Structure 1
Amino acid sequence: MYDTHADDYEDFELAERLNKSQQKREISDLHDLARNLSKLDAVALEKMELPNELFHALIDVQSMKHGAEKRQYKFIVKLLRQIDTESFLETVAELGAKKEEQDKHFHRTERWRDRLIADGHDAITEFMDRYPQADAGQIRQLVRNANKELLANKPPKSSRTLFRLLRDVISA
């Protein structure tokens, strides 16, 4: 006689169990999350309200070397598998987007500084058209000083000051 209930139970078991490839992808995703979390400083980790054991494991891994670090990441992944990681993924994504925006702003400011120093008057005119709130006299003076320092092989003090000024003007 054929027992249909046993077959239904086996089908249910197979449907519930993830295939090996899916398990590996999930563990890989958790490993990536663990690496991203370990790059954050203690203040950012505290704000995420992580379980105490996970928080300390992430702080500890930051000072470890190769073999110990690898074992610690396995331990962190084990801890992550026991909790809902959705909010952590969102927080890491938000922090990544914020950092990306900061990097874009930094590079935009660098390009303007380099262009002002290289092109002089024309670049200053274009910059003033785009950012009329800037102090043209101060920018011209810093560009002149930066060019003098460059020719004299001196430290780029004016170039740094120009960068800070441009950063403040562009972000305003």
Structure 2
Amino acid sequence: MEEIEDEIPVISKSEIKRQMTALQKLGEELIALPKSKLNKLDLPENLRDAIDDAKRITAHGALSRQKQYIGRLMRIIDAQPIAEQLEKWRNHHSDENVVFHQMEQWRTSLINDDNSVTLFIADFPDVDVQQLRTLIRNARKEASLLQPPKSSRALFKLIRGIIETAHPELAAVDEEEPEDE
């Protein structure tokens, strides 16, 4: 007997089940998305209708069946672009968190350390130095008198505006739009 060189790879039942479960989980993520993000995805009409139906279903059993149906629909389409877009959105969110924490660190160090002012001005020369120093002085005063952090919030807004202007790629873009149902 001759051996067949181009054998079809055998996929175990367990692997098939894992793939189906992963597609169903992807479908559940789609159900959780707001309409604004769903509109940005290129979804087949029947899948989009099934997702919209799932958003309206409240009964546990019916919702479970609808999720399984969405999983079946996901198997007949190329789900890779959808998964990639969802991953981009997740990473974009984590990038926004990193930038947000950097802004908070700048604010904290500006309020607590006079040397940070010099570093901040060196990194962002377009800053209005007088406004920056005034907000820092007022934030320190509010903190010492245990007053609400009005100037500290204003300082954060100033830092955010400066960083977003200097580095537009770091700007936190709010892609969420209000849902209208």
**Which interval holds the TM-score relative to the shorter structure?**
0.7 to 0.9
1:87 aligns with 2:81: yes
Higher relative contact order (CA 8 A, sep 6+): 2
Letter of the 1:166 counterpart: I
What does residue 162 of structure 1 align with? 155
- Structure with bigger helix share is 1
Could you state the TM-score of these two structures normalised by the residue count of structure 2? Answer: 0.73
Question: What's 2:171 paired with?
Answer: none
Aligned length: 160
The one-letter code sitting in structure 2 at the alignment partner of 1:98 is H
> 2:45: which partner in 1?
52
Residue 123 of structure 1: how far off its partner (Å):
1.2
Residues 1:97 and 2:123 aligned together:
no
For 1:155 and 1:27, the matched residues in 2 are separated by 53
Separation in 2, partners of 1:54, 1:152: 58
Alignment of 1:1-172 (within 5 A): 15=8, 18-59=11-52, 61=54, 67=60, 69-119=63-113, 121-171=114-164, 172=166
Question: Residue 24 of structure 1 aligns to which amino acid in structure 2?
Answer: K
Identity of aligned residues (%): 34
Stretch moving more, 121-130 or 95-104: 95-104
Q: Aligned Cα RMSD in Å?
A: 2.8
- C-alpha deviation, 1:62, in angstroms: 5.2
Unaligned runs of 5+ in 1: none
Against the structure 1 CA distance between its residues 157 and 72, is the aligned structure 2 distance closer, same or farther, given a 3 Å change threshold?
A: farther
Spell out, residue by residue over 1:22-57, the C-alpha distance to the aligned partner (whole angstroms, 9 max, x if none).
112212321332243334321111121212342244
SS of alignment partner, residue 133 of structure 1: coil
- TM-score after normalising by structure 1: 0.76
Larger radius of gyration: 1
